[in-house]
Amino acid sequence: MAQDVLCEVKNCHYWAQGNKCAADAIYVVSHSGKQAANQRETDCQTFEPKE
């Protein structure tokens, strides 16, 4: 399992200094079911905007 998850979306609630993701868990989904052909077919459902 990855030790560091990087994120460049600075307006995410879980964004931390050094482009790190501070979420306890990451949830990534595919636009096309259970498999994706490339990264464009995926989304991070963990994203939560900062208030």
* Rounded distance between C-alpha atoms, residue 41 and residue 37, angstroms: 7
Three-class DSSP category at 24: coil
**pLDDT tens-place string over residues 1-51:** 788 999 999 999 999 999 999 999 999 999 988 999 999 999 999 999 998
pLDDT value, residue 19: 97
Strands 15-16 and 42-44: unpaired
DSSP class of residue 2 equals: -
pLDDT value, residue 44: 94
pLDDT value, residue 1: 78
Q: Where are the beta strands (DSSP E) in 1-51?
A: 15-16, 20-21, 28-30, 42-44
pLDDT value, residue 21: 96
Please give the model's pTM, rounded to 2 decimal places: 0.81
Q: What is the CA radius of gyration of the chain?
A: 12
